[in-house]
Structure 1
Amino acid sequence: MTADEHAERFTVLRPLLFTIVYEILGSATESDDVLQDSYLRWAEVDLATVRDTKSYLARLVTRQALNALRSCARRREDYIGPWLPEPLLLDEHDASADVVLAESVSMAMLVLLETLTPDERAVFVLREVFGFDYADIAAAVGKPVMTARQVAHRAREHVQARRKRFEPVDAAKIAQITEQFMTAATTGDTDVLLSLLAQDATWIADSGGKAIASRRPVVGAEKVAGFLMDLFHRASRTPNLRIAMVNCNNAPAMVVYSDDHLKGVFLIEISDGKISTLYAIRNPDKLAAVTVARQISR
């Protein structure tokens, strides 16, 4: 077997492998590191012994992702302020056609997955999102098949009890609400802003202590609106401020620049036609990934 064949098989499956690892780790940057390490291991494998390349590579990257997740657990415990997943810049806009894939990479789902144990998270992702059989899942997490089934059941119940019902929103409606939000926030129209926010709307900011941001969530439409009015008023005094729209985690997102320096990424979550959650990622360590568009797949 040649190195070219190893590379070809890995490259074809890379979008799927990246998606698996990203959903386990919540970090595009760390996912790249895991895939690089996994490829080095894959390059040493005798391909004659591989019966199913997809299953083999899924098991390999899952094991490496779990190692990475466990090693960074302490860092997340010591994190300053709320920890949010790293935003995922997508280079395509048709992930919404796959409802399962769209929900699985949403910021809301990734935040929810943070409440699972590492094994629960990996098993849930492999089973519920990618549909792998329990034999492959058990091999990936190093558990007996029966245990993998029990972990899957426990994780599924946990997620179902906590997630909001996912209803794909029409792309045109998302664009309309987002445009209205940007206009209201930048012009200081509090009334319009309040009309766009759900009563229990929540603002969550992730700075890691490396940028100015609220270290506690802001909850309630009026409090969030007031907070945003003040935020945008102060931002208006920033020289050469520029806001662009992008697709992050299969949702509309605003990227804010001062000159050419990326200052933050803001994602909105829409439920029942209202903005229910606003996620602000300000930690500069997490903004680097937004400069590279990714492909996702299942």
Structure 2
Amino acid sequence: MAAATPDAPETLFEPHRPLLLGLAYRLLGSMWDAEDVVQEAYLRWTRADRGQVREPRAFLVTVVSRLALDQLRSARVTREAYVGPWLPEPVDTAQLGPQDTVELRDTLSYATLHLMEQLTPPERAAFVLREAFEMPYDDIAAIVGGTVANSRQLHHRAATRLAAAHGDRFSPTGEDHARLLTRFLDAARGGDLDALTGMLSEDVVAWNDGGGRTRAALHPVTGRDRVIAFVVGLTTRYPFEQARLTELNGQPALRLTVDGHDQVTLLDIRSGVVHGVFAVLNPDKLTRLPHPPAAGPAPDGVHSGPGTQACGATPCS
């Protein structure tokens, strides 16, 4: 196959693909939809008069933002009919480009993505474009529609709502997060009620996303006592066949095999305690994750493999 020429559409487009995927994913919470949006942006790029485009990055960010905003408006209607709670699709951070600022990392964190579902599409777009990509308000206004003052208001309203719901959005270090996540797993498997009580906030909520594809709670489980009873009941009835500590959405996560089904579990940790437990069981949302490698037995029947850590009776560190 002949190499692309310097003026070929893909030559200028491909270096921006990770950034564009990261933008679309932050706006949509779905890699399926993000990839569709980026592909449509590429098709529009091939048809554009590229000689008139002075800044390809700005042009492509604008196209992807508008496409994602349209997609988000229709997705909200679809998600209202979703079976059980809808959670974002967990993602391997490496495919979304560098995360070299706190804002880029935070807008990719699972808890923030989940909270952004409460925003209107224009609020979400204004928040992501301003926080993560430092876009000027006049450019944001051109994307979401309205005035510069309106785009400022959208961003302020979104930031205020997220701060009220999440408090300090910039959470613990990766090591502290991983340590608490592994302690949570060990306590759940061991039925250690005292340990679970100490690590969960009083108002903790557990969300389970099966999407009607696998058995999962159809409503959020709220409150420390109910979450403990729910988690311990699950681990007693369905022993974990595999458990691996990995990184998704820029944070530690557990990849589990329970009763023959794969799932991902992530935690929302604030002030050293767990405020949210997110379990993604819908197999459609796990297909884009790297397949866990096969491995031999590890202590306590837990398996491990390259790029992951087995979590046994002692915390992974």
TM over 0.5: yes
In structure 2, the residue matched to 1:42 is 45
TM-score (norm 1): 0.87
Matches within 5 A, 1:82-101: 82-91=85-94, 98-101=101-104
In structure 1, the residue matched to 2:276 is 277
In structure 2, the residue matched to 1:71 is 74
Q: Please report how far the alpha carbon of residue 157 of structure 1 lies from its aligned counterpart in structure 2 after TM superposition.
A: 3.1
In structure 1, the residue matched to 2:253 is 253
**Would the alpha carbon gap of residues 187 and 169 (structure 1) be closer, same or farther in structure 2, given more than 3 Å must change?**
same
Match of 1:199 among 178, 189, 202: 202
| Structure 1 position 267 matched with structure 2 position 270 | no
CA contact (8 A) 2:204 2:276 kept: yes
In structure 1, the residue matched to 2:128 is 125
Of the two structures, which has the highest relative contact order with CA contacts closer than 8 Å and spacing of 6 or more?
1
| Secondary structure of 1:67 counterpart | helix
| Amino acid across the alignment from 1:275 | V
CA contact (8 A) 2:65 2:143 kept: yes
**Would the alpha carbon gap of residues 95 and 273 (structure 1) be closer, same or farther in structure 2, given more than 3 Å must change?**
farther
Q: Please report how far the alpha carbon of residue 154 of structure 1 lies from its aligned counterpart in structure 2 after TM superposition.
A: 3.1
| Regions of 4+ moved over 3 Å | 1-5, 94-97, 142-147
Distance 1:95 1:58 in 2: 16
CA contact (8 A) 1:34 1:64 kept: yes
Q: Please report how far the alpha carbon of residue 205 of structure 1 lies from its aligned counterpart in structure 2 after TM superposition.
A: 1.0
Matches within 5 A, 1:96-175: 98-175=101-178
CA contact (8 A) 1:266 1:278 kept: yes
| Secondary structure of 1:278 counterpart | strand
Task: State the aligned residue count.
Answer: 289
**More deviation, 181-190/159-168:** 159-168
Taking every aligned residue pair, what percent have the same amino acid on both sides? 37
| Secondary structure of 2:54 counterpart | coil
| Structure 1 position 222 matched with structure 2 position 225 | yes
TM-score (norm 2): 0.83
CA contact (8 A) 1:251 1:268 kept: no
In structure 2, the residue matched to 1:235 is 238
**Would the alpha carbon gap of residues 36 and 254 (structure 1) be closer, same or farther in structure 2, given more than 3 Å must change?**
same
RMSD: 2.6
Distance 1:64 1:102 in 2: 23
**Would the alpha carbon gap of residues 2 and 150 (structure 1) be closer, same or farther in structure 2, given more than 3 Å must change?**
farther
Deviations 1:219-252 (A, max 9, x none): 222221221111111221x7xx211112111221
Matches within 5 A, 1:166-185: 166-185=169-188
Deviations 1:253-298 (A, max 9, x none): 1112369x752111112111112211011122212232389xxxxx
CA contact (8 A) 2:26 2:107 kept: yes
Unmatched 5+ stretches in structure 2:
293-317
Greater per-residue helix proportion: 1
CA contact (8 A) 1:55 1:136 kept: no
Unmatched 5+ stretches in structure 1:
294-298
